[in-house]
């Protein structure tokens, strides 16, 4: 059987076992029932179901996107069949506690498993992706009754979940939402308002849809301090778990996007009287936790989703890379430079240096991004299970700092990998005869999903790097410094790469301090996107140096290890130097953008 063109299992094994050493986690009580064998079995299962149930309808769902006839949303039947198969695997609960029916696998293993589904069919995988985030939020902030009523059916695959934040007039500015929640005598609320861009907002793939909705209670403080979070099911659920009447949540229309076309994306109306639970208008909702804590609670789901978006972007970049690699090995075209005989046989295009350049760039992006995604998942394992509290707190802070990078760097550079995959295929690449065209369109949404590139830049530079008196910056740079020290001691090429990374880290520290020298946020954040891109490249260089240190001695490994080493060389030689001009721009505190007036455009 030829190797998969979804993901590289060899790479996953290397990252999980040779680098992150996840098998050592079985020594901790939470994972004591597991072993390397159970981890590998879960990965085998994920690869098989993703390959057999998700990948085959990826193109069909793109070409026949959901439709709405005014009454029902219709999707191709393969979507429901795939999701039913996914539910049967139990992989939705892979990382959850056994007390709620979870497999209690390490989060690094669970993340690797789900990446198979994102690579196979990112649109269909969006439904369980959102459902798991919804369930995790309610497990953290919901009452026991809410967990029993809504979470357990979601984990069984009977209910699906969403997150309802944006509104047509507000977009990403959640301070401006106007959906209101009016308290009722029985302790429930009635919600009135409109939510936009709600993925998975309506369908018939499950018995029910559990919406998590941000809204304001009358008299709430202005801005984000007055936002509360509510559970609003599509169908009301009785005390015994039985389904009741239709709630006043109506689909106002479907959005038609350039990618993720198999995922319903909706405009939802709450409380417009399309349905009248208990005989009157108003969507019945239930408050999660205390009033006015909704945004903090929702960040539990949003931060999880941000890392998940980065994982999805990585998966799309990775499968595009593997498909362009397979094409390059099989497609004969042209002859080597310097070949004199026009009658000589054509060579596979991978023999041409420029094609190898494009493949090597893709490899450096997607394998570096996958390392970052799994490293973050490993940090979550540390946050939850490290024996020492100081280690748990350290993992939590480092994960906070890395979250905007993990969301945005793969969304930018694995999209660049998709662009190169199209280029490798040449004229065939932008036709619908090949998957790489769809992968690019799907991935183009990820720089916008769960907070735009610019929002993540503001979060990184305006919050994460300076919070707690700069503790985030210090932790990131000292952690990278530990890797640099190990690489320096290793000698050889690792030491040379360490010197280059150390110089880049020094610039991160100096530039961050320079930007905040006078505490002016307007000037400091004027070029925040350049900061995110530069620091992101430094972080990926760190991920590559970590992988180099996990490799056998040069010449002692196989072709896989040699390819890893060459990709690391490429990233340090071609990509890391890109940060120099970006850091120069930032250090100068350039005002060009600030001084550009709207009427000059």
**Residues designated as active site:** 450
- Taking the CA atoms of residue 197, residue 198, residue 204 and residue 209 in that order, the dihedral angle to the nearest 10 degrees is -170
Helices 467-490 and 389-425, packing angle to 10 deg: 70
Q: How many whole angstroms separate alpha carbon 420 and alpha carbon 442? A: 15
Query: 564 Cβ partners below 8 Å, 6+ apart?
Result: 14, 367, 547, 548, 551
Write down the residue that tokens 């000698």 correspond to: 491
- 350: which 2 tokens? 């991978």
Count Cβ atoms below 10 Å from residue 382 Cβ, excluding itself. Answer: 19
Q: At 105, list the tokens.
A: 């696998």
Separation of alpha carbons 583 and 466, rounded Å:
18
- Transcribe 70-99 into DSSP letters: SS-EE--HHHHHHHHHHHHHTGGGTTS-GG
CB atoms near residue 432 (< 10 Å): 10
The label of the residue with tokens 């929702």 reads: 298
159-164 and 208-215 beta bridge pairing: parallel
Closest C-alpha among 251, 250, 252, 254 to residue 274: 250
């Amino acid at each position: 059987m030829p190797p998969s063109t979804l993901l590289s299992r060899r790479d996953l094994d290397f990252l999980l076992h040779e680098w992150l050493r996840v098998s050592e986690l079985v020594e901790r009580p939470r994972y004591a029932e597991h072993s390397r064998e159970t981890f590998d079995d879960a990965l085998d299962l994920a690869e098989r179901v993703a390959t057999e149930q998700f990948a085959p309808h990826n193109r069909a769902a793109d070409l026949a996107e959901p439709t709405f006839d005014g009454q029902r949303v219709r999707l191709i039947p393969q979507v429901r069949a795939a999701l039913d198969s996914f539910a049967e695997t139990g992989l939705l609960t892979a990382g959850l506690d056994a007390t709620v029916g979870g497999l209690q696998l390490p989060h690094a293993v669970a993340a690797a498993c789900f990446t198979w589904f994102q690579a196979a069919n990112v649109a269909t995988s969006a439904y369980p992706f959102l459902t798991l985030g919804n369930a995790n939020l309610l497990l953290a902030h919901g009452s026991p009754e809410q967990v029993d009523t809504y979470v357990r059916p979601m984990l069984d695959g009977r209910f699906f979940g969403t997150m309802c934040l944006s509104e047509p007039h507000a977009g990403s500015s959640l301070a401006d939402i106007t959906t209101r929640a009016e308290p009722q005598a029985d302790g429930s609320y009635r919600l009135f308002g409109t939510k936009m861009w709600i993925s998975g907002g309506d369908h018939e793939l499950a018995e029910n849809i559990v919406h998590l909705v941000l809204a304001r209670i009358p008299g709430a403080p202005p801005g984000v301090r007055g936002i509360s979070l509510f559970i609003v099911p599509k169908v009301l659920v009785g005390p015994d778990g039985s389904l009741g009447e239709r709630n006043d949540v109506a689909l106002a229309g479907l959005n038609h996007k350039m990618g993720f076309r198999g995922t319903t994306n909706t405009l939802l109306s709450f409380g417009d009287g399309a349905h009248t639970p208990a005989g009157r208008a108003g969507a019945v909702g239930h408050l999660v936790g205390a009033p006015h804590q909704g945004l903090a609670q929702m960040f539990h789901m949003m931060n999880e989703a941000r890392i998940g978006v980065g994982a999805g972007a990585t998966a799309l970049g990775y499968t595009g890379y593997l498909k362009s690699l397979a094409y390059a090995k099989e497609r004969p075209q042209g002859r080597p430079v310097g070949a004199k005989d026009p009658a000589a046989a054509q060579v596979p295009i991978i023999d041409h240096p420029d094609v190898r350049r494009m493949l090597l760039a893709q490899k450096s992006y997607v394998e570096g991004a996958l390392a970052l995604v799994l490293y973050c998942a490993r940090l979550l394992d540390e946050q939850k299970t490290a024996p020492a509290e100081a280690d748990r707190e350290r993992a939590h802070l480092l994960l906070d700092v890395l979250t905007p990078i993990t969301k945005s760097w793969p969304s930018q550079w694995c999209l660049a990998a998709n662009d190169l995959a199209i280029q490798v295929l040449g004229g065939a690449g932008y036709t619908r005869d090949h998957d790489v065209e769809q992968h690019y369109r799907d991935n183009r949404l990820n720089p916008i999903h769960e907070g735009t590139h610019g929002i993540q830049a503001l979060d990184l530079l305006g919050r994460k790097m300076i919070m707690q008196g700069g503790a985030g910056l210090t932790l990131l740079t000292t952690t990278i410094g530990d890797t640099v020290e190990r690489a320096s001691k290793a000698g050889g090429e690792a030491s040379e790469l360490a010197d280059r990374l150390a110089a880049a880290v020094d610039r991160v520290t100096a530039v961050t301090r320079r930007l905040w020298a006078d505490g002016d946020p307007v000037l400091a954040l004027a070029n925040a996107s350049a900061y995110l891109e530069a620091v992101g490249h430094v972080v990926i260089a760190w991920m590559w140096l970590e992988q180099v240190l996990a490799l056998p001695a040069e010449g002692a490994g196989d072709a896989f290890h040699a390819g890893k080493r060459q990709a690391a060389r490429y990233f340090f030689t071609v990509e890391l130097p890109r940060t120099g001009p970006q850091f120069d721009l930032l250090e100068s505190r350039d005002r060009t953008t600030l001084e550009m007036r709207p009427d000059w455009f």
